[in-house]
Amino acid sequence: MPHATVTAAQDRACGNDPTDGPLAFAGARRLGWREMLAAPVRWPRPSRLREPLKLPAGKTADGMATLGLSTVGELLEHMPRDHREARTVAELRAGEQATVAVQVRSIVSRPVRRRGMRGLVEAIVFDETGSMRATFFNQPWLVGRYPPGARLVLHGKADGGGRFRVSHHAVGSDIGSGQAQSVAHYPAAEGVSSTQILTLVHECRGGLGDVVEPLAASIRVAERLPERRAALAAMHFGGTGSAQLEGRERLAFEELLLTQLVFLTRRGRRAEHAHARTLKDPPSLSERWLEQGLPFKLTGDQRKAIATIGRDLEQARPMQRLLMGEVGSGKTVVALHAMLRAVEHGAQAALMAPTETLAEQHFATVQRLLGSESVTVALLSGSTAASRRADTLGKLSSGELSLVVGTHALIEPDVRFRELAVAVVDEQHRFGVRQRAALENQEPAHPPHTLHMTATPIPRTLALARHGDLDRSVLRELPRERKAIDTRIVTGESGRADAYRLLREQLDAGRQGYVVCPLVEEGEDGGAVPAQSVGELRAATAEFERLRRGELAGRSLALLHGQMRPREKQQAMQAFASGRAHVLVATTVIEVGVDVPNATVMLVENAERFGISQLHQLRGRVGRGEHRSACLLVGPAGSARLRALVEHSDGFRLAEIDLRLRKEGELVGTRQSGLGQFKFASLPEDAELLERARACAQDILAEDPRLHGSLHVLLGRTLEGVFGAEALQPIPA
């Protein structure tokens, strides 16, 4: 920094007056103007992080492009997969794969007599513990690239006798010091090795000085977190000690904090920009329906959810609530009550499901639950006849139709409501963000109250990480009439024969059952063949034909899978629901929404091919009537997932186990929102860190909702840089 003109008075004021001027670091001495102006100052220049990497053309550049690494900043954000202890030359053992940091003493190229092979290169390399002969194959140009004195990082195999066969190599610059050390190993790609990436990271190490710190010092102190540049340095160069752990925690906290800020900002901006119809009138239709129309008593959880949702509906802020429920806990009743609150205010309500099968089941359930109440309700799906569709659309736009149940057909451009006050989105994770938003865009200035439903219990950790902008209600309590389901693992041919014997016994007693297969057609999984034994993959179409001639000969069977035409699926479901079909052979198209109380056996072929949540949903299709039910899981006895189903019936407990076994990114329920994967954080291990990030985000937004204050402006810019300005818009979560 150039020196400014300093007057004697200024110098005396700050340099000689013992009562004025700043103190030197860690001392009592006062600093003068000249001394302060002469001090080196380096401000971060983030633009330098956007500079392109200097890469040789060809395979290396292609490999880096595959990894999405084209700038200095992207490279510094490319985290090592792990750190491994580098070896010294003296520590190498014959046959050992190792990484060493060495210097070149001499290097020569030797011809090879074998046709098609280029000359090999031999280099004498050394560190402080000794020397060895390193051999490079088919790369004679390395003689010019690695002259004597060059520092290298070599990865390969020690042959014994002081020889080392090199598989990957790169210029080491200041990487090696001749001492055993930890070496970072990076995710690589064809054309670029981990060792080459390591070298590039070291070459770009100075770029860490241009990393902007988005977290205020007060936050870092309160959370005991290092600066961002120090955290990145620790991840790349910190080895396997506590520095790397602290660096990862800092980066994970920031990642979780940014996600929570997005969620909470969406909620806040939604309240500012949109105003829903307030449903404040005293209940009439909905209260009569609860007290007189239902053939069963509500559970405590249902009553609590209904009361909470009722309070939401009274507010001008559009409701955004996630209703999670155990299988069979009665989510549809809670949702229908909210819909009836709209109807008794002269408005309309819609229920949108992801499949026609589920929409048809919801439509039948709503009709049954409404009983004698004179509420108009219609079904709208892709297979609705043109004349009926036109009639339904006309009644929706005029307000003559109060309730509608449907699929994506509800968000077609020509579907218009007179006044949509409540929207229910079932299995909301199976819709995209824009699809869920379309219902609200019917009247952007006055969007409906929205209730999202899922039959997949979500642990609190995942709920915060994926649905942090939604309020949540939970139904854990099951109706008293629901009976426990006997769940067993079926192994071997004799076990499978026993399973079908049990199914036949239930059919003889007048009950019904399901047989679920992982495939629709044989061969669609890239190798499935006609199933002859327990271990081979079974397809619903082939199993349907086989069972008609085999174990279930003489019984009435129906087939249901997602590739059938809508009318065929409807006919199959009607045949099973009416009792005309004794067994429904199906894929997982039946995992939610199917309610046949007379079904008492669920037999799942190749059960190890399904996730825990899927199996729990399938099990929930039985046990809905007065008779004892069984769920038979055909698969390996040692499967952790299958054992979990046998040992636990609580869906929320199973969701925790599923999260532990499969990690957050693979779970059913991960949303299509661009916020799905974490780079540094890992759930459920970072559950406590997530809670801290949530609390911190709430404190920040309470103080500075727009993130425009001096303490948070860099955090706001980072937020937009990571997620984009669109992510902060008040759209449905």
**Greatest mean pLDDT range, 33-37, 147-151, 174-178, 440-444:** 147-151
Q: Tell me what pLDDT residue 336 has.
A: 96
CATH 2.40.50.140 residue spans of the chain: 59-208
Q: Tell me what pLDDT residue 668 has.
A: 32
Q: Tell me what pLDDT residue 431 has.
A: 62
577, containing H or E segment: helix 566-578
Locus of tokens 């499949």: 355
Q: Tell me what pLDDT residue 528 has.
A: 39
In CATH, which superfamily holds the domain spanning 485-648?
A: P-loop containing nucleotide triphosphate hydrolases (3.40.50.300)
User: Model confidence over 457-486: pLDDT tens digits?
Assistant: 777 777 777 777 788 899 988 877 778 899
Residue of 237 and 66 predicted with greater confidence: 66
Mean pLDDT (the chain) is 85
Q: Are 172 and 153 in contact (CB under 8 A)?
A: yes
CA distance 306 to 330: 11
Q: What is the mean pLDDT of residues 20-44?
A: 76
525 has pLDDT over 70: no
Q: Tell me what pLDDT residue 527 has.
A: 42
* β-strands 512-516, 583-586 pairing: parallel
Q: Are 373 and 379 in contact (CB under 8 A)?
A: no
| Cα-to-chain-centroid distance, residue 707 | 26
For the full predicted model, state whether its pTM sits above 0.75: no
Tokens of 380: 């709208």
Locus of tokens 């194959």: 137
Q: Are 245 and 83 in contact (CB under 8 A)?
A: no
Tokens of 655: 């969701």
Q: Are 340 and 286 in contact (CB under 8 A)?
A: yes
| Residue in 440, 449, 471 with CA at minimum distance from that of residue 318 | 449
Peptide bond preceding 44 in cis form (omega within 30 of 0): no
> Given strand 348-352, what is the order of strands in its sheet?
377-380, 403-406, 348-352, 420-426, 449-454, 320-325, 471-475
CA distance 408 to 121: 64
How many residues does this entry show for the chain? 733
Q: Tell me what pLDDT residue 35 has.
A: 79
User: Model confidence over 430-444: pLDDT tens digits?
Assistant: 665 566 666 766 665
CA distance 491 to 419: 56
User: Model confidence over 330-371: pLDDT tens digits?
Assistant: 899 999 999 999 999 999 999 999 888 889 889 999 999 998
Worst-scoring range by mean pLDDT, 177-191, 288-302, 405-419, 541-555?
Answer: 177-191
In CATH, which superfamily holds the domain spanning 285-475?
A: P-loop containing nucleotide triphosphate hydrolases (3.40.50.300)
CA distance 649 to 547: 30
Worst-scoring range by mean pLDDT, 370-379, 453-462, 485-494?
Answer: 453-462
CATH 3.40.50.300 residue spans of the chain: 285-475, 485-648
| Cα-to-chain-centroid distance, residue 250 | 21
Tokens of 264: 């909470």
Q: What confidence category does residue 530 fall into, taking pLDDT thresholds of 50, 70 and 90?
A: very low
Q: What is the mean pLDDT of residues 402-411?
A: 94
Exposure letters 208-246 (e unless 16+ CB within 10 A, then b): bebbeebbbeebbeebebbebbbbbbbbbbbbeeebbeb
| Residue in 348, 507, 483, 503 with CA at minimum distance from that of residue 415 | 348
CA distance 46 to 72: 10
User: Model confidence over 639-664: pLDDT tens digits?
Assistant: 999 999 999 998 888 888 887 776 54
Topology classification of domain 59-208: OB fold (Dihydrolipoamide Acetyltransferase, E2P) (2.40.50)
| Residue in 450, 429, 603, 641 with CA at minimum distance from that of residue 512 | 603
CA distance 229 to 210: 8
Question: What one-character DSSP code corresponds to residue 7?
Answer: -
Q: Residues 6 or more apart from 251 whose CB is under 8 A from it?
A: 228, 231, 232, 235, 679, 680
Question: What one-character DSSP code corresponds to residue 30?
Answer: B
Q: At what angle do helices 331-343 and 300-313 cross, to 10 degrees?
A: 30
674 has pLDDT over 50: no
